[in-house]
Amino acid sequence: MFLLVTVFLKQRTLRLAAQLPASRLRDSLQELQTAVKDVVSATGVQLPVLLGDGKQTHSLQTLIDLLLDAKLEPYLPARLLSNPFLQPNAGTDYQQYLSGIATQQQNDAIIVGDGLKRVRAMWPTLDKPSASQALQNLDAFANQAATSTSIQSDVKTVVDGIKRNDMKLVGHLLASDLEYRQGEEHTPTTHEILFELESVSFLGWLVWALLTFVLGYAALILNHHGFGTAQDLFKCFLWGIGIQAAGQGLQALNPTSVATTFSFQVGR
């Protein structure tokens, strides 16, 4: 029981917590990918940078692949047991790894949200050659997404420069319900990781509760045939909340042991 809670469940929780930010980032990239596919489907204009395959350095798919468990493995805690002789990794390398991807995601979000989606919404009212060229220019901005320079002004300039037909502009964005691209290897989603975190937490508390009851019963009740007095019940209560001295006898309790257990400051 002790190994299950303090070693295996703890290690699993650390791993899930480390996977969570990468999972959220991956979900946001998949949403952008879905939105870009919707633009291509509606306009017929190909966007080879954003929708490039894994060999395209700045494609959304490349960024998503970088967040699969196989790529994250060097930065994640061990699946079961960690090496007790190594110092815990502060996670600096992992933070830098995710930070680089997050920078590209933020710039891609500007390209898609302020650029592609706006053009998609206004598509029926736009001059098609001008709009097609604008979409291609916006797609090319993805090659600059790895830099920290904001490209919001460039995106706005391209969109504002599109020629329009003499029609009333469409004032709303179309929602996309295309399915996410699923790779051969299943990588848990944010929802799955959060659900498993809650499950591991529940299992840990359940095991601790069971362990506390069994040990308390064996130490305080099983060998005590006269059990049942108020003092016995109070001793069980103190045992259950973690005061170790209670397990050795109520008489062993003193102000110092109680203050130490609960981290109280005792005036002198």
pLDDT in tens, the chain (268 residues): 555 565 677 777 888 888 888 888 999 999 999 999 999 999 999 999 999 987 888 899 999 999 988 888 888 877 766 655 555 555 788 888 998 899 899 899 999 998 999 999 888 888 899 999 999 999 999 988 777 667 888 898 999 898 877 544 434 333 333 333 334 445 566 666 766 777 777 777 777 777 777 777 777 677 777 777 787 777 777 766 654 444 454 444 455 554 554 444 545 4
Are 77 and 178 found together in one domain?
Answer: yes
**211 shares a domain with 161:** no
Give pLDDT, residue 84: 55
Domain match, 106 and 175 both:
yes
Beta partners for 126? 164
Q: Pick from 189, 220, 244: which residue ends a domain?
A: 189
Query: What is the per-residue pLDDT for 171?
Result: 42
The answer to whether position 164 is within a domain reads yes
C-alpha distances out from residue 248 to 31, 208, 232, 244, Å: 59, 20, 12, 7
Q: Give the domain-ending residue among 161, 189, 217.
A: 189
The reply to whether 160 and 233 lie within a common domain is no
Looking at the fold, whether 180 and 236 belong to one and the same domain comes out as no
For the chain, the domain total comes to: 2
Bridge partners (DSSP) of residue 164 are 126
Same domain, 116 and 218: no
Last residue of a domain, one of 138, 167, 189: 189
Say whether both 6 and 86 belong to one domain.
yes
pLDDT score for 172: 37
The one-letter amino acid code at 193 reads I
Shared-domain flag, residues 199 and 67: no
Domain that holds residue 87: 2-189
**10 Å Cβ neighbour count for 73?**
10
Quote the pLDDT of residue 76: 82
Question: Looking at residue 143, what DSSP letter applies?
Answer: G
**Widest pairwise Cα distance in the chain:** 95
- Specify whether 131 is located in the same domain as 239: no
Residue 244 domain-assigned? yes
pLDDT of residue 7: 64
Taking a C-beta distance cutoff of 8 angstroms, is the pair 116, 35 a contact? yes
Considering the domain architecture, whether residues 168 and 236 belong to the same structural domain is answered as no
Residue 267 in any domain: the answer is: no
**Domain match, 104 and 56 both:** yes
The whole-number pLDDT of residue 81 equals: 63
- Residue 229 belongs to some domain of the structure: yes
**pLDDT for the residue 264:** 46
Alpha carbons 107 and 142: distance in angstroms, whole number? 8
Supply the pLDDT for residue 169: 41
